[in-house]
Chain A
Amino acid sequence: MAISIKTIIAAVDLADDLSSAILKTAAELSELFHARLHVVDVITPIKGFETLHAMDATMHNVEAHQKAEAERLEQLTSLVSKVMPLAKPIVVQGNPGEAVADYAKKNDADLLIIGSHQKGWWETLASGAASPELVRDAPCAVYVVTKEAARKIG
Chain B
Amino acid sequence: MEVKAGPCVLGSNALTCRPLQRIQRGVGADVMERILVALDGSTHSNRALDLATDLAEKYQAELLLVHVMPTAPLDESERHMAAVEYADELSSWAKDWNEARSGEQSPSAPELLLRYGDLASRFRELVAKRLMSSAESKLQGRQLSSTESILQTGDPAKAILDLAESRKVDTIVIGSRGLGEISGLLLGSVSHKVNQLANCICITVK
Contact = CB atoms under 8 A, between A and B. Distances in A.
Contacts of A144: 195, 201-204
A77 B7 contact: yes
Interface in A103-146: 103, 107, 116, 118, 120-121, 132, 135-136, 138-146
A145 B197 CA distance: 13
Interface in B58-90: 58
Given A31-B23, A148-B199, A77 B6 contact: yes
Interface residues of A, number: 61
Nearest to A36: B14
A99 interface: yes
A120 B195 CA distance: 11
Contacts of A88: 5-6, 8, 13-15
Contacts of B18: 31, 34, 86
20 contacts: A3-B51, A28-B26, A31-B18, A31-B23, A77-B6, A86-B17, A87-B17, A88-B5, A88-B14, A90-B4, A91-B3, A118-B196, A132-B195, A135-B195, A140-B206, A146-B198, A146-B199, A152-B31, A153-B27, A153-B28
Interface of B: 1-10, 13-20, 23, 26-28, 30-31, 47, 50-51, 53-54, 58, 138, 170, 176, 191-192, 195-206
